[in-house]
């Protein structure tokens, strides 16, 4: 599927953090994925730290993408919601982005700090849009 990743040299180097400044697509099918969190299939929280939860959320996102006939490489936009209590060290999010998304062509990404998520104990939520042929 034709896509361009826009990272102008006049803007800071976002690739080092695992995301592109913009992604332009000409694909035919759009997939909007609900926010994924650090829950297992029984809605049990997988851990109490940001690194564990964001990795599980990324894994859940991968599973949903594959069920929709796509992959994490097809994600064009990723919104990351982090609760205030976990926002002191966001390096686990950078690490997750670098592990789970293509280094040369990562999605456009927005990170938001919020007061809370839908359930106590949740520290992070990943919401995505993908475009595939």
pLDDT tens digits, one per residue of 28-87: 788 889 899 999 989 899 999 999 999 999 999 999 989 998 899 999 999 999 999 999
CATH of 3-131 given 2.40.420.20, 3.40.140.10, 2.40.70.10, 3.30.1330.40: 3.30.1330.40
CB within 8 A of 53, min separation 6: which ones? 37, 38, 45, 46, 47, 122, 123, 124
pLDDT bin (cut points 50, 70, 90) of residue 126 is very high
| Burial class for 12, CB neighbours closer than 10 Å (0-12, 13-18, 19+) | exposed
* Domain residue extents for the chain: 3-131
Arithmetic mean of pLDDT over the chain: 91
pLDDT of residue 119: 93
In this structure, are residues 104 and 14 in contact, taking their beta carbons and an 8 Å threshold? no
Over 80: is that where the pLDDT of 2 sits? no
User: 89-111 burial, b if ≥16 CB within 10 A, otherwise e?
Assistant: ebebbeebbbebbeeeebbbbeb
Over 80: is that where the pLDDT of 27 sits? no
Over 70: is that where the pLDDT of 1 sits? no
Tokens representing residue 23 in the block: 């992604």
Q: What is the reported pTM?
A: 0.85
First to last CA, the chain: 6
Residue with the two structure tokens 């694909």: 27
Distance CA 74, CA 65 (A): 8
Over 90: is that where the pLDDT of 5 sits? no
pLDDT of residue 12: 80
């Amino acid at each position: 599927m034709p896509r361009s990743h826009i990272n102008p040299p006049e803007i800071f180097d976002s690739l080092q953090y695992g995301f592109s400044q913009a992604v332009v697509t000409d694909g035919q099918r759009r997939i909007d994925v609900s926010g994924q969190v650090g829950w297992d299939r029984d809605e049990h929280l997988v851990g109490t730290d940001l690194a564990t939860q964001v990795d599980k959320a990324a894994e859940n996102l991968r599973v949903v993408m594959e069920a929709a006939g796509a992959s994490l490489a097809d994600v064009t936009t990723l919104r990351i919601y982090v609760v205030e209590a976990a926002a002191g060290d966001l390096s686990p999010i950078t690490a997750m982005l670098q592990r789970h998304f293509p280094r040369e062509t990562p999605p456009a990404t927005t990170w938001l700090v919020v007061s809370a998520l839908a359930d106590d104990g949740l520290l992070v939520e990943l919401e995505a849009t993908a475009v595939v042929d």
